[in-house]
Chains A and B, each alone.
Chain A
Amino acid sequence: MRKVLTIAGKELRSYFVSPMGYVVLGFLLGVGGLIFALTYTAPQMEADPTYIIRVMVFLILLMSPVITMGLLAQEWASGSIELLMTNPVRDVELILGKYLAAVTLLVIALAASLEFPLILEKFGDPDWMVVLTGYIGVLLAGMSFLAIGLFASSLTSNQIASGLLGFVMLLFFWLIGWLGYNISSKIGEVAKYISVFENIQDFSKGIIDLRPVVFFLSLIAFFLMLSVRTVENRRTA
């Protein structure tokens, strides 16, 4: 555990000595704030936090590959992976450490974005239950995005390539749900089941259902496991 925390601490630190951490926070609060302002200043708009949740999920989907793209790709590109992997660190500890750093940055960003419901509170009467379940949903979805992004970063030594790859994979899980509305067969059903968009719906209505929770946790475990396997395989290449 100490090793995981050491690696996570190192990565988290480098998010904030480089512009990366600030860019992520700035994007989320800046663009998020703009959309928030435009949405809630519309005539007859209610203080319904559902929109905040939907916007946050989408923005975090956009930012996740940026957060994760360098985590492993950079190590391979600079050669620093050699010193890291010749230390007595298990591959799974390496992956968990990197992942924990990314998740911590996400949590910081989400905490900062609580300003949006707080502003709503000042002008209206938002349902804080929806805010709570919504944020749990956003956190779970965001953690899945980061696991997918980390896997993309484990595949290549090129940061840009890993970022784009992560983005493409995330778009797949986002857009696949549309198929569910267009096709009514079993394939359509499956498409809805694996769509991130479909799985976030309940959370943004104040409901915590076990099914989407299991879905996101499985997604996280699956892609973290794939990342560990990729690192193991690249070692033998």
Chain B
Amino acid sequence: MIRCEGLTKYYGNHQAIADVNFEVDEGEIVGFLGPNAAGKTTTMRILTSFIPPTAGEAAVAGFDVIDQSLQSRRAIGYLPETSSLYQDMRVTQYLRFCGGVRSMSRADVEERMEYVLDTCGLSERADSIIGTLSLGFRQRVGLAQALLHDPPVLILDEPTVGLDPNQIIEVRNLIKSLGGQHTVMLSTHILPEAQMTCERVIIINHGRIIAEDTPEALTAQIREAETILITLARDDENVSRQLLDLPDVVGVRSVGDGSYHVDTAVGTDVRAEIAEFAVSRGWGLLELRPVEMTLEDVFRQLTTEEEGVE
């Protein structure tokens, strides 16, 4: 339902996203996870035909987002990151306006409006002027307009921002219930949100996709340890066992050619001890450095806990 191939976007000299490739199948709920400024919004704006990519192509519901953008836009319900709604309109007026620009019949609009107002918990505020609503309610109006025309594809940019904990749970349940009939792509910088709502997670950082899997598989990849790589000139079979005797070392794995990954407890730095130890054993220490783990770095930047939300 959603397909991106080699999407790249430059703002002037700044590269916002680089060579982004992914696919989302029909009925899937996919989380687009990444820290702030990772390129989530840029990607979503390209998918919704708001901005064109510098290079690469994308299609939604089988329609190219540039050459067939009217058709692709018709298939999308979009909640932008900052849903700037018309402040001077009433909720119902705004939804009727949205229905009008999407060529819905008046009867359809009235019927769907009742449903989306109810689904988004807006029934009591249906006649309020949008400018007088709180941030949480405005976010719900944004969600309501995205759902109004019953689109096959929903693109939701940070759908729970600005909501209180109870509302967050409601919105997540709503999104989950949309899976199956709708293809949902939602962006978030909150790890538990992606774990709770999404069947599959695409992780983006510095404009590049760095991982793509189920939330469970991704979390499993994150070991509760930090890893140091050492390379020895004179390898022998006792190295592993002897290294394990050092304080804070929790695991040692040979990675071949005299190199080892030494896992140490989180928050400790035993590089000096390991170096000293290797030298004293006459192993011929050639290299010692922390292993860079992009995925884990990214996870560290993500919001991993939420107050008040279970």
Interface on A for B, CB 8 Å cutoff?
2-3, 5-7, 9-10, 13-14, 17-18, 78-80, 82-90, 235-236
The residues in B between 198 and 240 inclusive whose CB is less than 8 angstroms from any CB of A are none
Contact of A7 among B52, B82, B83, B101 (CB under 8 A): B101
Tell me whether B3 is interfacial, beta carbon within 8 Å: no
Q: Is the CB of A14 within 8 A of B86?
A: yes
A127–B74 CA distance with the chains assembled, in angstroms: 54
Contact across chains for B88 and A87 when beta carbons are under 8 A apart: no
**Docked complex Cα distance between A5 and B97 (Å):** 10
- Collect the chain A residues with CB atoms within 8 Å of residue B76's CB: 86
Q: Report chain B residues within 8 Å CB of A85.
A: 49-50
Chain A residues in 8 Å Cβ range of B74: 88
Docked complex Cα distance between A6 and B145 (Å): 15
Neighbour of A82 across the interface among B84, B87, B88, B98, CB < 8 A: B84
Determine how close the nearest CB of chain A comes to the CB of B82; give it in whole angstroms: 6
Known: A87-B73, A235-B52. A79 touches B101 (CB 8 A): no
Task: Tell me whether A79 and B51 are in contact (CB under 8 A).
Answer: no
B289 within 8 A of A: no
Q: Does B197 contact A (CB under 8 A)?
A: no
The interface residues of chain A lying within 8 Å CB-to-CB of B101 are 3, 6-7, 84, 87-89
Report yes or no: B100 in contact with A80, Cβ–Cβ below 8 A. Answer: no
Let me know if B52 and A86 touch, CB within 8 A: no
Q: Give the distance to chain A from B89, nearest Cβ to Cβ, in Å.
A: 7
Task: Give the chain A neighbours of B71 by CB distance below 8 A.
Answer: 88
| Bound-complex Cα distance A14 to B103 (A) | 21
For window 11-33 of B, CB contacts with A under 8 Å fall at none
Contact B51 A236 (CB under 8 A): yes
Number of B residues contacting the other chain (C-beta, 8 Å)?
Answer: 30
CB distance from A38 to the nearest CB of B (A): 37
Interface residue ranges of B55-109 to A (CB < 8 Å): 70-71, 73-74, 76, 78, 80, 82-89, 93, 97-98, 100-103
> What 3 A-B pairs have minimum CB-CB distances, sorted nearest first?
A6-B100, A79-B84, A86-B48
Chain B residues contacting A5 (CB-CB under 8 Å) are 100
Residues of B near A79 (CB, < 8 A) are: 80, 82, 84
B100 touching A3, Cβ below 8 Å: yes
Give chain A's interface secondary structure class: helix
Q: Is A86 touching B86 in the complex (CB atoms < 8 A)?
A: no
The listed residue (A7, A13, A86, A89) touching B80 by CB distance below 8 A is A86
Quick check: B85 and A87 within 8 Å, CB to CB?
Answer: no
Distance (whole angstroms) from the CB of B111 to the closest CB of chain A: 17
The answer for the CA separation of A235 and B45 in the assembled complex, in Å, is 11
Q: Which of B48, B51, B84, B102 is in CB contact (< 8 Å) with A80? A: B84
A86 & B100 in contact (Cβ 8 Å cutoff):
no
Q: Looking at the assembled complex, report how far the CB atom of B52 sits from the nearest CB atom of chain A, in whole angstroms.
A: 5
Option from B70, B84, B88, B89 in Cβ contact (under 8 Å) with A83: B84
Which of the residues B48, B82, B87, B89 comes within 8 Å of A10, measured between beta carbons?
B89
Minimal beta-carbon separation of B286 from chain A (angstroms): 52
| Complex Cα–Cα for A205 and B27 (A) | 68
Q: Which of A3, A6, A7 has the most CB of B within 10 A?
A: A6
Taking a contact as CB atoms closer than 8 A, the residue among A9, A87, A235, A236 that contacts B102 in the complex is: A87
Taking CB as reference atom, which chain A residue is nearest B97? A10
A138 to chain B, nearest CB (A): 30
For residue A235, which residues in chain B have a CB less than 8 angstroms away from its CB? Answer: 50-52
- CA gap between A7 and B88 in the complex, in Å: 14
In chain A, what residue has the closest Cβ to B87? A78
Whole-angstrom CA separation of A17 from B90 in the bound complex:
11
* Alpha-carbon distance A86/B48, docked complex (angstroms): 6
Q: How far is the CB of A139 from chain B (nearest CB, A)?
A: 27
Instruction: With both chains docked as a complex, state the minimum distance between the C-beta of B88 and any C-beta of chain A, in angstroms.
Output: 5
Residue in B48, B100, B145 with the greatest tally of chain A CB atoms within 10 Å = B100
A-B contact pairs, 15 of them (CB 8 A): A3-B100, A3-B101, A6-B101, A10-B86, A14-B86, A78-B84, A80-B84, A83-B78, A86-B49, A86-B50, A86-B73, A87-B73, A87-B101, A87-B102, A235-B52
CB pair B52 A88 closer than 8 Å: no
Query: Which one of A2, A10, A88 lies within 8 Å of B73 (CB-CB)?
Result: A88
A86 adjacent to B84 (CB under 8 Å): no
Question: Chain B residues with Cβ under 8 A from A9's Cβ?
Answer: 97, 100
With contacts A2-B103, A235-B50, A236-B52 taken as known, whether A87 is within 8 angstroms of B84 at the C-beta atoms is no
Interface centre among A5, A83, A85, A235 (most CB of B within 10 A): A83
In the assembled complex, which residues on chain A have CB atoms less than 8 Å from the CB atom of B145? 83
Contacts of A87 in B (CB 8 A): 73, 98, 101-102
Residue with the highest number of chain B CB atoms closer than 10 Å, among A17, A80, A82:
A82
- Between B84, B101, B103, the greatest number of chain A beta carbons within 10 A of the residue's beta carbon is seen for B101
**Which residues of chain B are within 8 angstroms of A3 by Cβ–Cβ distance?**
100-101, 103
Instruction: Please state if B88 and A18 are interface contacts (CB–CB under 8 Å).
Output: yes
Cα–Cα, bound, A13→B86 (Å): 12
Complex Cα distance, B83 from A164, in Å, reads 29
Given contacts A83-B78, A86-B48, 5 further A-B contacts (CB under 8 A): A9-B97, A13-B89, A79-B82, A79-B84, A83-B145
